[in-house]
């Protein structure tokens, strides 16, 4: 199934959610539990809107947003010069070097 089809199905389900919440709200009114349900549904709808924005931004290609670097950087195993760490706190041990 393509991403476009999946998003269309998701929007159909969201439409069903809206109808159900509207029906429940008409039945139970403005009770605290109903307000929580409405708030939860609104959060889900907002998340779906963000999903649409992200899918459009990625052009629904399924490719990573950050391509892997083509050049490898070699990091030497030798110690750094002692003045490199001067004045830096080593938070892992609680002291300074």
The 10s digit of each residue's pLDDT in 6-35 is 878 888 898 899 899 999 999 999 999 999
Each residue's pLDDT tens digit, 60-87: 555 555 566 678 778 888 887 777 777 7
Residue spans of the domains in the chain: they are: 3-57
Torsion of CA 83, 88, 91, 92, to 10 degrees: -10
Neighbours of 45 (CB within 10 A): 13
With beta carbons less than 8 A apart as the criterion, state whether 75 and 23 touch. Answer: no
Q: What is the pTM of this model?
A: 0.50
More confident residue, 30 or 52: 30
- Whether the pLDDT of residue 89 is over 90: the answer is no
């Amino acid at each position: 199934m393509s991403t476009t089809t999946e998003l269309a199905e998701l929007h159909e389900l969201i439409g069903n959610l809206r109808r159900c919440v509207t029906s429940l709200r008409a039945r139970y009114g403005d009770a605290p539990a109903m307000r929580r349900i409405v708030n939860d549904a609104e959060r889900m709808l907002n998340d779906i809107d963000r999903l649409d924005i992200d899918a459009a931004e990625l052009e629904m290609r399924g490719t990573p947003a950050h391509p892997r670097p083509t050049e490898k950087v070699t990091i030497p195993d030798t110690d750094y010069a002692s003045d490199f760490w001067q004045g830096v706190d080593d938070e892992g041990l609680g002291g300074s070097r």
